[in-house]
Amino acid sequence: MLLSVLVPLYNEEEWISEILSRVLRAPLPPGMGLEIVVVDDASTDASAERAAALQALHPDQIRLVRHEKNRGKGAAIRTALEHARGEFCLIQDADLEYSPTDYPQLLRPLLDGEADAVFGSRFMAAGSRRVLYFWHSVANKFLTLLCNMISGLNLTDIETCYKAIRTSLLRSIPLRADRFGIEPEITIKLAQRQVRIFETPITYRGRTYEEGKKIGFRDAIEAVLVMLRFGFVRDIYRDKGPEILDVLANAPRFNRWMADTIRPYLGARVIELGAGIGNLSVLLSRGRSRYIASDIDEEHLARLSNRLQYRQSLEVHRCDLESPSDFAPFANSLDAAVCLNVIEHVADDRLALSNIHSVLVPGGRAVILVPEGMPVYGTLDEVLGHHRRYSEAELRAKMTEAGFRVERILRFNRATRPAWFVNGRIFRKRTFSRFQIAVFDSLVWLWRRVDRFLPWGPTSLIAVGVREP
């Protein structure tokens, strides 16, 4: 394992050598290595030179990156994150206010698999802190209260420097704030991603303005504006594919419609392939003796583990549809396999169907949902990574070739086909409108009743294939 310590640096020539030395001496869990990524944000003093001198002594552990112009703490953290190589990253200010001796307690919940992010709180009961400014404390409590109201959390210290986070998670979030607004931005976006956040007490030795403290009233105002911006504008994925999944998570009626359609074909032991963030898993896993939710995206797997952690019969596994070895542990043992909007993403869909066939007991069913019709293939399909849309004949032929007897093919969701065509082929949009999804979802009660009477083709096909004895 490797810990990446991200150090934003600006005009700290008096302290930078000492803090880097303390980080190098920090106690770490057994087997964990350390790298320090220092980003000098165009310091006007000797900060960069002193960091470079220490880098020369520890070239394998310290890397120094320089900004040509001063851009702020948030921008420096973004740059450091781009260079981080560790499984976990931890933000460390370049002064002596925060002590690296607290690293073990910050990392413990991450290493135990209990947390995705850990905040070091200056205001929890344990630990010690230097007593300084009353109005700073009031401002901090106000900002924490406001951020908690917006994010739905109950943190005690959102402005803390010490945030330890899984690197892949933080990289998957678009970070926009350039200055100290990065603190509430990270907090709100982690909350919106519904990740597991822990707090732990830390020691704190705050400094005075005479000693070089930089944060002030302007930064408090900026923090409020950042909270208002990101509290009401959902901006939590760097990539469009996961963003679309997040939009669809806010269509609960549509997800229930899909779940109700396929539920009659499932048995007691089920594997869901390409479960994503669990929009269908939460509906289909109830009442099963064994339910395996699988995906290949590490962040989806982490979200599944968090979202479904209290389902006793549920397991989360990495399972690549094009990797027979991923399917070997489940060979000939499951009653049903659910694969919803997945095999169109796979280059070799024949191999994918063959792997699905291999996990079923004789008489077990595969429920395969795919997009229908190449005539409506457009930019939305491109963003989602669709290799193809299927005809009934192609889907039936490929499932038969894989060894299934196709029991039936259902035409599902005619209601959205015109909107898919207009958005993806005419307007060439690359994401869904949350407003459109909300309106559509509010009318699902109507679509369920009229869908089979609509005079055009479906958006999706659902094939039910049986593994013959």
User: Is it the case that residue 56 has pLDDT exceeding 90?
Assistant: yes
What whole-number distance in Å separates Cα of residue 380 and Cα of residue 428?
7
User: Is it the case that residue 2 has pLDDT exceeding 90?
Assistant: yes
Q: Residues 117-121: what's their mean pLDDT?
A: 96
Element (H, E) at 252: helix 252-262
User: Is it the case that residue 418 has pLDDT exceeding 90?
Assistant: yes
Mind listing the pLDDT tens digit for each residue in 347-372? Answer: 999 999 999 999 999 999 999 999 99
- Per-residue confidence (pLDDT) for residue 207, from 0 to 100: 64
The answer to whether the CB of 346 falls within 8 A of the CB of 387 is: yes
DSSP string, 389-410: -B-HHHHHHHHHHTTEEEEEEE
In degrees, rounded to 5, the angle at the alpha carbon of residue 436 between the alpha carbons of residues 434 and 438 is 65
- Per-residue confidence (pLDDT) for residue 294, from 0 to 100: 96
Instruction: Give phi and psi for 407, each to the nearest 5.
Output: -75, -40
Q: Residues 168-182: what's their mean pLDDT?
A: 94
Which class for 469: exposed (0-12), middle (13-18), buried (19 or more C-beta within 10 A)? exposed
- Per-residue confidence (pLDDT) for residue 7, from 0 to 100: 98
3-state secondary structure at position 4:
strand
Q: Residues 106-120: what's their mean pLDDT?
A: 94
Count of H-run helices and E-run strands, the chain: 19, 14
- Per-residue confidence (pLDDT) for residue 302, from 0 to 100: 86
Structure tokens at 336: 């049903």
Element (H, E) at 324: helix 324-327
Mind listing the pLDDT tens digit for each residue in 190-239? Answer: 999 989 999 999 988 876 656 566 677 888 899 999 999 999 888 999 88
Q: Where is average pLDDT lowest: 59-68, 124-133, 178-187, 350-359?
A: 124-133
The alpha helices in 112-181, defined as continuous H runs, are 134-151, 167-171
The answer to whether the CB of 386 falls within 8 A of the CB of 377 is: yes
Mind listing the pLDDT tens digit for each residue in 275-323? Answer: 988 889 999 999 999 999 999 998 889 888 878 888 889 999 999 999 9
- Return the percentage of the chain with pLDDT > 90, whole number: 78
What whole-number distance in Å separates Cα of residue 81 and Cα of residue 144?
25
Instruction: Give phi and psi for 5, each to the nearest 5.
Output: -95, 120
The answer to whether the CB of 216 falls within 8 A of the CB of 407 is: no
Beta bridge partners of 412: 460
Q: Is the dihedral of CA 425, 429, 431, 432 positive or negative?
A: negative
- Per-residue confidence (pLDDT) for residue 432, from 0 to 100: 76
- Per-residue confidence (pLDDT) for residue 134, from 0 to 100: 75
Q: Residues 58-65: what's their mean pLDDT?
A: 97
**Sequence-ordered list of residues with C-beta below 8 angstroms from that of 275, at least 6 positions apart, any chain:** 281, 293, 294, 295, 300, 304
Q: Residues 139-155: what's their mean pLDDT?
A: 93
Mean pLDDT for the chain? Answer: 92
- Per-residue confidence (pLDDT) for residue 208, from 0 to 100: 64
Per mean pLDDT, which of 14-18, 381-385, 431-435 is the most reliable?
A: 14-18
Q: Helices 182-192 and 217-232: crossing angle, nearest 10°? A: 20
Domains of the chain from N-terminus onward: 2-236 (3.90.550.10), 241-467 (3.40.50.150)
